[in-house]
Amino acid sequence: MSGRFKQDPPSSASSDSGGEETATRQMEDEESTTDIGEMEGSHPTSPRPPSAGPHPQTPTQGALRSPRSRRQRTTSQSQPSRSREPILRGRRRTIYTAGRPPWYDCQGQLVEPFVIGVCGGSASGKTTVARKIIEELDVPWVTLLSLDSFYKVLSEKQHEEAARNEYNFDHPDAFDFELVAKTLLRLKEGKKVEVPIYNFVTHRRETKTKTMYGANVIIFEGILAFYSPDVLKLLDMKVFVDTDSDERLVRRLQRDIAERGRELDGVLKQYFKFVKPAFDYYIAPSMVHADIIVPRGGENEVAINLIAQNVMTQLQQRGFKLREKLANANFGIARPNSLHLLPSTPQIRGLHTFIRNKDTPRDEFIFYSKRLIRLVIEHALTLLPFTQDVTVETPQGIPYEGKRIATEKICGVSILRAGETMENALCEVLKDVRIGKILIQTNLDTGEPELYYLRLPKDIKDYHIFLMDATVATGAAAIMAIRVLLDHEVTEEHISLCSLLMTEQGVHNIAYAFPKVRIVTTAVDPCVNEKFYIVPGIGNFGDRYFGTEPSDQ
């Protein structure tokens, strides 16, 4: 990769840049189960670090450049009055909860996450600033990605150099920028990524990787965060942390000795040979790319607060009133071909009569629901291609020309909680079927679905998915669940949505957003009411099945 600066650079990491290939393969091969709980999230407010007092060399103004006019410096008074009640705070509390709100529009199309790049010298406070932005944002779907994760895998010779503090970890050649760009791009596309975990003591990547998925905001920090043009163009906001060099050296000494297993002499040797020249040559000049310069790092609360406010504004501009739009969309059009409605036979109507009757006792409700569930699952199964011709021999010794299902890999994914009631039926008809779970709940303030929890098989992209939810009203939750599956690279054609009862809008909204998803249901009701409940409907399926009290009525 070509460098960005024209003068002769300080000596490169090493001519031997082994490991690039391994790194790419690691990302593709070592997939692990995704859990949105693994995301970096909002943390309880941590105690404020002791104030270091005014910086000896920088003025008391925070230097902010608005994204529009990069050259113009906006002055902010950086008095240490930490405002935990920013203007947006009140509004944001009602808008965001612990769940992830929709990250796509009514057509199911992705809205890219907002990416903040944080650059600055080693020990300038990049990570501290990034964590404080996360804390200030106070939303759980923020991911912190560090350039450190992308240090290349060293050869044995390079390891020996590193042990003598003679390997240049501050040169661009030390990083796999191709993998950085690839990873950031995938995160921007809403896809799941596996990020290497770097160990500063051993100078090696751990064997495990960290799964990242589900970010509406990504913070990418590193000493050379602004170095690669390919990475730079993926950053929506660029922040440079500008901390005095003496402070950086002192913090680095303390940190490297306390946390990275280093000796005083070694840290100083590495600092003067590599760290300082790289700062002067690569890092400091990259400040020109910054939209915002934060003097004094993590203690500059005014700057951090302003960054967080700017990000919140961006997020609110991207926000959608999905459920409302979905409830009023796609009326009066012909039913899509992707809908597979079970014939309304007397048997089906008889079962519906039981489960729709508000006076049906719980045991009967469960019994008849289970029968209906079994029928819908069996029907969904008949829609899969049984294209494989097989001949078996009957006990009479006569060959039987039969068929076998072409898709061996089928995985059930239930949308919790009502979808869980359908898992047993799937397990009864498909031996060894795997089951994933997605917890989506409605935010009672906004009416929007929010993603809370996700547990899917690691190789889910290779499966045909039976996505299960007992009822589908506007289709908002099902659309979110389908979006999650697509983000995990499941193909749209490989998804069958199975439900007992849907509405016309629900069917149309799903078919409009994802025309290739098979929709299988036993009945379609005309509409939803003002609370987005199905009319005439069956009430809250989960509450009736599990015998719980309605939570929102």
Ligand X SMILES: Nc1ncnc2c1ncn2[C@@H]1O[C@H](COP(=O)(O)OP(=O)(O)O)[C@@H](O)[C@H]1O
Ligand Y SMILES: Nc1ccn([C@@H]2O[C@H](COP(=O)(O)O)[C@@H](O)[C@H]2O)c(=O)n1
Residues that bind ligand Y (CB under 6 A): 122-123, 126, 148, 151, 162, 169-170, 200, 203, 223, 275
Residue number, 20 or 148, with CB nearest to ligand Y: 148
Interaction between residue 123 and ligand X (CB under 6 A): yes
Closest CA to 126 of 377, 1, 298, 346: 298
Q: Which of residues 160-189 bind ligand X (CB under 6 A)?
A: none
In the complex, minimum distance from the CB of residue 278 to ligand Y, in angstroms, rounded to a whole number = 7
Q: Determine the Cα–Cα distance for residues 461 and 467; give it in Å rounded to an integer.
A: 14
Candidates 37, 49, 67, 350; binder of ligand X (CB under 6 A) is 49
Secondary structure of 204-256 in HEC code, one letter for each residue: EEEEEEEEECCCCEEEEEECCCCCCHHHHCCCCEEEEEECCHHHHHHHHHHHH
The answer to whether the beta carbons of residues 469 and 442 sit under 8 Å apart is no
Residue number, 169 or 177, with CB nearest to ligand Y: 169
Interaction between residue 125 and ligand X (CB under 6 A): yes
Closest CA to 503 of 261, 327, 275, 324: 327
Stretch that binds ligand X, among 67-75, 118-126, 302-310, 382-390 (CB under 6 A): 118-126
Count CB-CB contacts under 10 A for residue 121: 27
Interaction between residue 82 and ligand X (CB under 6 A): no
The site partner of 59 among ligand Y, ligand X, none (C-beta below 5 to 8 Å per kind) is none
The site partner of 200 among ligand Y, ligand X, none (C-beta below 5 to 8 Å per kind) is ligand Y
Residues 323, 436, 548, 428, Cα dihedral to 10°: 120
In the complex, minimum distance from the CB of residue 146 to ligand X, in angstroms, rounded to a whole number = 8
Interaction between residue 481 and ligand X (CB under 6 A): no
Indicate the pairing of strand 527-528 with strand 534-535: antiparallel
Q: Which of residues 236-265 bind ligand X (CB under 6 A)?
A: 251, 255
Candidates 52, 264, 444, 535; binder of ligand X (CB under 6 A) is 52
The owner of tokens 């009569």 is: 353
The site partner of 49 among ligand X, ligand Y, none (C-beta below 5 to 8 Å per kind) is ligand X
Residue number, 53 or 332, with CB nearest to ligand X: 53
Interaction between residue 78 and ligand X (CB under 6 A): no
In the complex, minimum distance from the CB of residue 51 to ligand X, in angstroms, rounded to a whole number = 9
Interaction between residue 126 and ligand X (CB under 6 A): yes
CA distances from 108 to 113, 158, 279, 492, 502 (A): 15, 47, 44, 12, 18
Stretch that binds ligand X, among 40-48, 121-129, 179-187, 260-268 (CB under 6 A): 121-129
The answer to whether the beta carbons of residues 243 and 250 sit under 8 Å apart is no
Q: What is the DSSP string of 428-451?
A: HHSTT-EEEEEEEEE-TTT--EEE
Q: Which of residues 378-417 bind ligand X (CB under 6 A)?
A: none
Q: Determine the Cα–Cα distance for residues 110 and 143; give it in Å rounded to an integer.
A: 17
The site partner of 128 among ligand Y, ligand X, none (C-beta below 5 to 8 Å per kind) is ligand X
Structure tokens at 118: 């944080």
Total residues binding ligand X (CB under 6 A): 15
Cβ burial of 246 (10 Å; 0-12, 13-18, 19+) is exposed
The site partner of 299 among ligand Y, ligand X, none (C-beta below 5 to 8 Å per kind) is ligand X
Residue number, 105 or 148, with CB nearest to ligand Y: 148
In the complex, minimum distance from the CB of residue 255 to ligand X, in angstroms, rounded to a whole number = 4
The answer to whether the beta carbons of residues 510 and 478 sit under 8 Å apart is yes
CA distances from 1 to 17, 175, 223, 336 (A): 12, 10, 17, 49
411 beta partners? 434, 465
In the complex, minimum distance from the CB of residue 148 to ligand Y, in angstroms, rounded to a whole number = 5
The site partner of 52 among ligand Y, ligand X, none (C-beta below 5 to 8 Å per kind) is ligand X
The site partner of 151 among ligand Y, ligand X, none (C-beta below 5 to 8 Å per kind) is ligand Y
Stretch that binds ligand X, among 97-105, 116-124, 329-337, 436-444 (CB under 6 A): 116-124
What is the separation of C-alpha 339 from the centre of its chain, rounded to a whole number of angstroms? 30
In a 3-state reduction of DSSP, which class is residue 356?
Answer: helix
The answer to whether the beta carbons of residues 132 and 304 sit under 8 Å apart is yes
In the complex, minimum distance from the CB of residue 123 to ligand Y, in angstroms, rounded to a whole number = 5
Q: Which of residues 293-312 bind ligand X (CB under 6 A)?
A: 297-299
Residue type at 298? G
In the complex, minimum distance from the CB of residue 285 to ligand Y, in angstroms, rounded to a whole number = 16
Interaction between residue 127 and ligand X (CB under 6 A): yes
In the complex, minimum distance from the CB of residue 246 to ligand X, in angstroms, rounded to a whole number = 13
Residue number, 203 or 417, with CB nearest to ligand Y: 203
The site partner of 169 among ligand X, ligand Y, none (C-beta below 5 to 8 Å per kind) is ligand Y
Interaction between residue 276 and ligand X (CB under 6 A): no
Residue number, 254 or 529, with CB nearest to ligand Y: 254
Structure tokens at 67: 């994204």
DSSP3 helix / strand / coil % (the chain, rounded to 5): 40, 20, 40
Residue number, 141 or 151, with CB nearest to ligand Y: 151
Q: Determine the Cα–Cα distance for residues 151 and 13; give it in Å rounded to an integer.
A: 11
Candidates 120, 196, 506, 542; binder of ligand X (CB under 6 A) is 120
> Contact residues for ligand X (CB under 6 A)?
49, 52, 120, 122-128, 251, 255, 297-299
